[in-house]
Amino acid sequence: MTMTSKTPNKKRQAKLTEFQLSIGEYLIQRLQDYGLRDLFGIPGDFVLQFYGLLEESPINVVGCTREDCAGYAADAYARINGLGAVCVTYCVGGLSACNSIAGAYAEKSPVVIISGAPGIEERVNDPLLHHRVRDFNTQREVFEKITVATADLHDPLTAFREIDRCLEAAVRFKRPVYLELPRDRVHSKPIAPHNPTCSVAVSHADALQAAIEEATERIKTAKNPVIIAGVEVHRFGLREQVLSLAEKNKIPMCATLLGKSVISEKHPLYVGVYEGAMGREEVTEFVESSDCVILLGTFMTDINLGIFTAKLDPQNCIYVTSEKLRIGHHHFHDVLLKDFIDNLQKKKIRTGKQSPKFPTREEQNSRAPDASEPVTTKSLFAHINDILDDDMVVVADVGDSLFASSDLTIHKHTEFLSPAYYTSMGFAIPAALGVQVANRNLRPLVLVGDGAFQMTCMELSSIVRQNFNPIVVVLNNKGYTTERFLQEGPFNDILNWNYHRMPDIFGSGWGFEVNTVGELHQSMKAALAHQDAFSILNVHLQPDDISPALERLAEKMSKTI
């Protein structure tokens, strides 16, 4: 893969050169150049000077209650906006954000984490400054393991180039980067004039051509090809190209759980979510019987594979991500995901082929529950499926909230967010904040278990402060139900809260306690009508009640163990 360099537009270049921006000012300007409008974080003494610059800039600073929550919010913001950022103080702030940044790395979400640091002059004679852990490099060395690029902006000679390099890496690889800014370097000017540049990766022409030729031949001769669209289709903005490929050639499409909603689930070529035994049986059989499975931007994790119950023959797969390209057992190097999909979708490969036969979706013949019956996970998600509309984005936390969500029908693309690979509990509430900061017109429907809710629920305070209006559905089964499914024990039990009373704490919002199907319908109708603040539904479920998706997985695993 070759690299070419380019310089940003001349007006921007002249502005940056003429006014001799300081390191802090330059960083803010470059973030804006990449389309960043908002930033999440918590101030601290080592980063206060940079916060002062942010306050004077067009970037909106959104304060959070915890640094890890700020990371989750920035992650969700990046998934909607294309780039997110979080700004924290040294070590006590930065190290608190490690888990959420690690999740962003695992799930390819481009988040810029900016940390203040002790001043260079303060470090003379190795003093024991507060917040320090081992030495002054400890935090940066930790972040080297969970980001795609890091930089210490202590030297005005290199800091400006390092900012360019790291921001370019975040956008190119769709992964977090780390910038450490000593507090006595925030206002440092460049030693020599600096013009921002960025490099552009280019595919190896011969490798690209060979890959396209082999993929084309396989798709052309296949009897029943199918596309599995993954999360990178969204991250790299390739939805339209994938749709073009499918529509031109009448190829059915599936998604993974991590990539759910990357393609509208109302599209006539859409089949469903493929996730091994956890998915619907007819979808699983349809995909696994295909003689050409085209995996585009798909990371085949254990969750996507239904805890390894999926059965895909590599010989029948075209597997393309930003990191690798494999067709059958042939590997191709230095081919960009975008270039491969762009070139493939321009071809009309399957001329004269009949329209594909889609799997028949199994209709549920069970009667509608009576209004007086207790709510179950099945009846809860059936009702959620009925009320979803084009202005909602579903944010699902880890556990059965996530697994049950796989059966929801998402109307528009990229309207489903979850930590479906890294599976870090506590993602959903701060992610709802990030979603509405990125797009005020989207209303999050947050699906969260009571255990995950208790981890990060105080971020509702930030949601109230911003006058946002998510609908939070707490699946209250008094503990960690998915863990009970794996290993029963009292360690899975948690204290039962009156979740519907949370608005009393914040002095804002609407709370509803739900025990029956009738109460669910009434409460959801009221929540949808209340547009002025957040609503929270405390939905009581039995501790052993699980979703149909988890039931399918349990049944499959019971036959193989």
pLDDT digits (tens, 9 = 90+) for 517-545: 999 999 999 999 999 999 999 999 998 88
Tokens, residue 439: 């797009």
Q: Helical H runs in 82-191?
A: 98-106, 138-144, 159-173
CATH superfamily of domain region 203-345: TPP-binding domain (3.40.50.1220)
| Cα 373 to Cα 542: distance, rounded to the nearest angstrom | 13
- pLDDT score at 410: 80
- pLDDT score at 361: 58
First to last CA, the chain: 45
| Cα 452 to Cα 424: distance, rounded to the nearest angstrom | 9
- pLDDT score at 282: 86
Residue 531 — left, alpha, or beta (φ > 0 → left; ψ -120 to 50 → alpha)? alpha
Model pTM score = 0.89
* 377-556 CATH: 3.40.50.970
> How do the domains of the chain map onto residue ranges?
2-201, 203-345, 377-556
The predicted-structure confidence for 103-160, as pLDDT tens digits, reads as follows: 999 999 999 999 999 988 887 777 767 777 788 889 999 999 999 999 999 999 999 9
Would 2-201 and 377-556 be classified into the same CATH topology?
yes
Residues of the chain with pLDDT under 50: 14, 17-18, 304, 306-308, 558, 561
**Is the distance from CB of 273 to CB of 256 less than 8 angstroms?**
yes
Largest CA-CA distance found in the chain, in angstroms, rounded: 77
3-class DSSP state of 111: strand
**Is the distance from CB of 199 to CB of 3 less than 8 angstroms?**
yes
Q: Would you identify the CATH topology of the domain 2-201?
A: Rossmann fold (3.40.50)
**Is the distance from CB of 278 to CB of 403 less than 8 angstroms?**
yes
